[in-house]
């Protein structure tokens, strides 16, 4: 860029802003490098620790490493052309500056930080016995000079308590992006970056691709980048949240921390931080420490990255077709699913976390077609109800409301749509009659009996 006198600088900067904004909106940004950061690390920085009574005492740094390794493997498998750079693959300590430096030096196009959440724990107490203590009572006799003090001892039983930390009730996965008011820090990260910072100009001569961010024009452009990064971080974060929601886990949305998150601001690229679960919540702690949970999280994040990549690169991406238990392709959730009311709701207490469901038409066979959703995922798509059973198993999530919803795809010949559901819970058997129509869904909530 040729230097001109001051008034022209403003003009040039404004022009640049216009041109770049235009280029940004039309030119795809290719995702060539993705940096995955396993939060915390080493004995110096274990992160949060499971501290409630009977917790697994797991440490955040180990959980983040395990999930990150699975995420790196999944991303490499699903996006073979993309360079996936982990900040660490072993239990080593890294200063946040070190993590940001790795990401910036790798010239990442995305920065994914894996963490686990925690919250303040309340103290609980329980009586573990009693002890005998001696107390004294003082009484007086007589009056005036004859007044005498009498001390009598007596014994009392008093409870002995044991104190412990109560588990956190909050659970779920949340996604964080750098706060809007922290864009100046992001701007600094951009300006401190490579002097020959690469700008996607979509075929424009490469000479124009180098910019000095120390110049006023450069500052303007860096500001556009900071804004653009925030917008892109938000877009990716939203997709991650959606994919988490699709797994049936509580998805706590996209958040901006007022305090700011240093590592997200210090990186010269769109960046998100995923709090995979609460280490001090028993269900979450088990989930983020399990192979199944870690893989589910890695797959959900990968799916979100694939969607994001396709969107910014302007390519088509069709999410994998999901099939129901019978192998039939699942179509999208009907638009009116949420709009329908639940009139017929039942609650069933069960002993086992796996229960078998057999679904029949109740009464006359009249071509009733139904779909079944379990914890909002479609498990059974547009099946006719007949006299012979449609059977499937459901896996209940402990400590959660497990809801099975019957959705009527038609009314059959004799409205409403009625189904007989036989629930096999170990040796116990429940028969439930459900009724749904085009305005109402039927629901069964399963509650796991406490085995203690
Ligand atoms: Zn953390």
Q: How many Å lie between the centroid of ligand 1 and the Cα of residue 194?
A: 28
Q: How many Å lie between the centroid of ligand 1 and the Cα of residue 340?
A: 40
Are 275 and 48 a contacting pair, CB within 8 Å? no
Pick from 214, 267, 277, 262: which is nearest to 55 by CA? 277
Are 294 and 300 a contacting pair, CB within 8 Å? no
Give the pTM: 0.62
Q: How many Å lie between the centroid of ligand 1 and the Cα of residue 189?
A: 21
What are 41-58's pLDDT values in tens digits?
Answer: 999 999 999 999 999 999
Q: How many Å lie between the centroid of ligand 1 and the Cα of residue 100?
A: 15
Q: How far apart, in whole angstroms, are the C-alpha atoms of residue 106 and residue 97? A: 14
Q: Which of 69-83, 134-148, 348-362, 365-379 has the highest average model confidence (pLDDT)?
A: 69-83
Q: How many Å lie between the centroid of ligand 1 and the Cα of residue 273?
A: 9
Q: How many Å lie between the centroid of ligand 1 and the Cα of residue 153?
A: 56
What are 231-252's pLDDT values in tens digits?
Answer: 899 999 999 999 998 888 899 9
Pick from 55, 81, 429: which is nearest to 278 by CA? 55
What are 364-378's pLDDT values in tens digits?
Answer: 777 788 888 887 777
Task: Mention every residue, 6+ apart, whose C-beta is less than 8 A from residue 180.
Answer: 230, 256
Residue 277 has pLDDT above 80, yes or no: yes
Q: How many Å lie between the centroid of ligand 1 and the Cα of residue 438?
A: 46
Q: How many Å lie between the centroid of ligand 1 and the Cα of residue 140?
A: 64
Q: How many Å lie between the centroid of ligand 1 and the Cα of residue 45?
A: 9
Q: How many Å lie between the centroid of ligand 1 and the Cα of residue 263?
A: 11
CB neighbours of residue 287 within 10 Å: 22
What are 303-348's pLDDT values in tens digits?
Answer: 999 999 998 887 777 776 665 555 555 555 565 677 778 877 888 8
Q: How many Å lie between the centroid of ligand 1 and the Cα of residue 90?
A: 16
So what's the pLDDT on residue 161?
95
Q: How many Å lie between the centroid of ligand 1 and the Cα of residue 312?
A: 28
Are 241 and 175 a contacting pair, CB within 8 Å? yes
Look at strands 369-374 and 377-384 and give their pairing.
antiparallel
Are 381 and 427 a contacting pair, CB within 8 Å? no
First to last CA, the chain: 73
So what's the pLDDT on residue 163?
95
So what's the pLDDT on residue 413?
72
Q: How many Å lie between the centroid of ligand 1 and the Cα of residue 113?
A: 9
Q: How far apart, in whole angstroms, are the C-alpha atoms of residue 378 and residue 246? A: 10
Q: How many Å lie between the centroid of ligand 1 and the Cα of residue 293?
A: 18
So what's the pLDDT on residue 422?
92
Computed over every residue of the chain, the mean pLDDT equals 82
Q: How many Å lie between the centroid of ligand 1 and the Cα of residue 39?
A: 6
Residue 30 has pLDDT above 60, yes or no: yes
Peptide bond into 416 cis (omega under 30): yes
Q: How many Å lie between the centroid of ligand 1 and the Cα of residue 278?
A: 10
Q: How many Å lie between the centroid of ligand 1 and the Cα of residue 414?
A: 57
What are 180-236's pLDDT values in tens digits?
Answer: 666 667 767 776 654 334 333 333 333 334 456 667 777 777 777 788 888 899 999
Q: How many Å lie between the centroid of ligand 1 and the Cα of residue 60?
A: 7
Q: How far apart, in whole angstroms, are the C-alpha atoms of residue 9 and residue 217? A: 7
Pick from 83, 82, 84, 49: which is nearest to 70 by CA? 84
Are 186 and 178 a contacting pair, CB within 8 Å? yes
Q: How many Å lie between the centroid of ligand 1 and the Cα of residue 170?
A: 16
Residue 18 has pLDDT above 80, yes or no: no
Residue 3 has pLDDT above 60, yes or no: no
Q: How many Å lie between the centroid of ligand 1 and the Cα of residue 375?
A: 29
Q: How many Å lie between the centroid of ligand 1 and the Cα of residue 191?
A: 27
Residue 144 has pLDDT above 70, yes or no: yes
Q: How many Å lie between the centroid of ligand 1 and the Cα of residue 87?
A: 15
Q: How many Å lie between the centroid of ligand 1 and the Cα of residue 198?
A: 31
Q: Where is average pLDDT lowest: 174-188, 318-332, 376-390, 396-410?
A: 318-332
Pick from 31, 38, 103, 46: which is nearest to 71 by CA? 38
Q: How many Å lie between the centroid of ligand 1 and the Cα of residue 102?
A: 18
So what's the pLDDT on residue 48?
95
Question: What value does the mean pLDDT take over residues 401-421?
Answer: 82
Q: How many Å lie between the centroid of ligand 1 and the Cα of residue 76?
A: 24
Q: Work out the pLDDT band at 12, boundaries 50, 70, 90.
A: low
Q: How many Å lie between the centroid of ligand 1 and the Cα of residue 309?
A: 26
So what's the pLDDT on residue 313?
87
User: Where do the domains of the chain lie, and which CATH numbers do they carry?
Assistant: 12-120+169-313 (3.40.630.40), 123-165 (no CATH), 341-448 (2.60.40)
Are 263 and 177 a contacting pair, CB within 8 Å? no
Residue 1 has pLDDT above 50, yes or no: no
Task: Mention every residue, 6+ apart, whose C-beta is less than 8 A from residue 334.
Answer: 371, 407, 409
What are 93-130's pLDDT values in tens digits?
Answer: 999 889 999 999 999 999 999 999 999 999 999 999 99
Q: How many Å lie between the centroid of ligand 1 and the Cα of residue 136?
A: 53
Percent of the chain with pLDDT over 90: 42
Q: How many Å lie between the centroid of ligand 1 and the Cα of residue 167?
A: 18
Q: How many Å lie between the centroid of ligand 1 and the Cα of residue 244?
A: 19
Q: How many Å lie between the centroid of ligand 1 and the Cα of residue 115?
A: 4
Q: Over the Cα atoms of the chain, what is R_g? A: 30
Q: Which of 117-126, 288-297, 400-409, 413-422 has the highest average model confidence (pLDDT)?
A: 288-297
Q: How many Å lie between the centroid of ligand 1 and the Cα of residue 305?
A: 21
Q: How many Å lie between the centroid of ligand 1 and the Cα of residue 422?
A: 45
């Amino acid at each position: 860029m040729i230097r001109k006198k001051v008034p022209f600088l403003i003009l040039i900067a404004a022009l640049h802003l216009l041109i770049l904004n235009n280029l940004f909106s039309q030119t795809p940004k290719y995702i060539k490098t993705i940096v995955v950061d396993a939060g915390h690390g080493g004995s110096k920085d274990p992160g949060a620790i499971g501290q409630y009574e009977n917790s697994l005492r797991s440490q955040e740094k180990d959980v983040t490493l395990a999930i990150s390794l699975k995420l790196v493997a999944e991303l490499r498998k699903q996006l073979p052309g993309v360079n996936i750079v982990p900040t660490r693959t072993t239990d080593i300590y890294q200063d946040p500056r070190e993590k940001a430096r790795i990401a910036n030096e790798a010239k990442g196009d995305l920065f994914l930080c894996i963490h686990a959440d925690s919250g303040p724990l309340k103290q609980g107490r329980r009586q573990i016995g009693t002890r005998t203590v001696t107390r004294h009572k003082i009484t007086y006799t007589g009056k005036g000079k004859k007044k005498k003090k009498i001390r009598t001892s007596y014994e009392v039983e008093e409870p002995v308590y044991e104190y412990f930390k109560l588990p956190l009730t909050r659970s779920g996965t949340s996604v964080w992006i750098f706060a809007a008011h922290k864009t100046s820090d992001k701007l600094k990260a951009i300006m401190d970056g490579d002097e020959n910072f690469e700008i996607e100009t979509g075929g424009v001569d490469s000479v124009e691709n180098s910019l000095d961010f120390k110049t006023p024009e450069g500052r303007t452009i860096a500001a556009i980048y900071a804004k653009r990064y925030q917008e892109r971080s938000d877009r990716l974060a939203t997709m991650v949240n959606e994919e988490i929601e699709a797994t049936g886990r509580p998805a706590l949305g996209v958040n901006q921390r007022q305090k700011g998150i240093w590592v997200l601001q210090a990186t010269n690229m769109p960046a998100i931080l995923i709090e995979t679960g609460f280490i001090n919540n028993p269900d979450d702690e088990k989930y983020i420490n399990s192979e199944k949970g870690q893989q589910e999280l890695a797959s959900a994040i990968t799916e979100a990255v694939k969607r994001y990549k396709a969107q910014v690169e302007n390519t088509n991406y069709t999410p994998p077709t999901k099939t129901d238990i019978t192998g039939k392709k699942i179509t999208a959730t009907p638009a009116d699913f949420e709009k329908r009311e639940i009139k017929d709701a039942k609650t069933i207490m069960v002993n086992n976390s796996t229960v078998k469901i057999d679904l029949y038409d109740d009464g006359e066979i009249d071509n009733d077609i139904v779909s079944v959703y379990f914890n909002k995922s479609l498990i059974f798509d547009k099946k006719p109800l007949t006299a012979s059973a449609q059977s499937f198993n459901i896996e209940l999530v402990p400590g959660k409301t497990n809801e099975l919803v019957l959705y009527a795809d038609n009314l059959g010949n004799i409205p409403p749509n009625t189904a007989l559901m036989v629930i096999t819970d170990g040796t116990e058997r429940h028969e439930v009659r459900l009724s749904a129509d085009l305005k109402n869904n039927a629901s069964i909530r399963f509650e796991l009996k406490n085995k203690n």
